[in-house]
């Protein structure tokens, strides 16, 4: 299968990944059942992960690995889960990409990999203080669609 990322993009991503600090593990959830973007999403994730030794990937099937999918609150394929790899396992920051992160979403994926690697959200102290006052769980989703 031909590479999805051309050499120019690979070089740009490698340059950005020079700033990776700590290990990040990408969890890919695909499905053998009616998933037109699973192969491309998996290939793209594998190509991105191959650009730094600080990145790794685990591949799961949504149905066959249902327990793991449930653990990470994944119910759609393809889904990428970005986790921090620590000595004691994986830390889930709740970052998910459902569908293939192509186009503008590709740069968001690279940015999020850098954020997880830094172990810092980049939020201001004022925002962190506000969030600390929340007394109920908040479920935040961002949807993007090409127009």
Q: What is the pLDDT of residue 104?
A: 86
Give the burial class of 3: count Cβ atoms within 10 A of its Cβ; 0-12 exposed, 13-18 middle, 19 or more buried: exposed
Per-residue pLDDT tens for 76-129?
999 999 999 998 999 999 999 999 998 889 999 999 999 999 999 888 999 999
Per the domain annotation, does 105 fall within a domain?
yes
Helix, strand, or coil here: 34?
A: coil
Q: What is the pLDDT of residue 145?
A: 65
Placement of tokens 């299968």 in the chain: 1
Buried b (16+ CB within 10 A) or exposed e, 5-34: beeebeeebeebbeebeebbbbbbbbbeee
List for the chain the helix, strand, coil content (%; round to 5): 35, 20, 45
Per the domain annotation, does 145 fall within a domain?
no
Per the domain annotation, does 141 fall within a domain?
no
CATH of the domain at 35: 3.40.30.10
With cut-offs at 50, 70 and 90, classify the pLDDT of residue 47.
Answer: very high
% of the chain with per-residue pLDDT over 90: 79
Per the domain annotation, does 29 fall within a domain?
yes
- Domain hosting 19: range is 7-132
Per the domain annotation, does 146 fall within a domain?
no
């Amino acid at each position: 299968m031909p590479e999805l990322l051309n050499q120019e993009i690979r070089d740009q991503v490698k340059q950005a990944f020079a700033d990776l600090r700590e290990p990040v593990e990408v969890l890919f959830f695909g499905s053998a059942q009616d998933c037109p973007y699973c192969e491309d999403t998996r290939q793209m994730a594998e190509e991105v992960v191959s650009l730094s030794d600080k990145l790794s990937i685990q591949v799961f099937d949504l149905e066959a690995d249902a327990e793991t999918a449930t653990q990470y609150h994944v119910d759609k394929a393809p889904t990428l889960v970005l986790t921090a790899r620590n000595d004691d396992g994986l830390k889930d920051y709740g970052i998910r990409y459902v569908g293939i992160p192509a186009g503008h979403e590709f740069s968001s994926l690279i940015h999020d990999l850098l954020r997880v690697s830094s172990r810092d959200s980049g939020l201001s102290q004022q925002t962190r203080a506000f969030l600390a006052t929340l007394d109920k769980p908040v479920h935040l989703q961002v949807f993007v669609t090409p127009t």
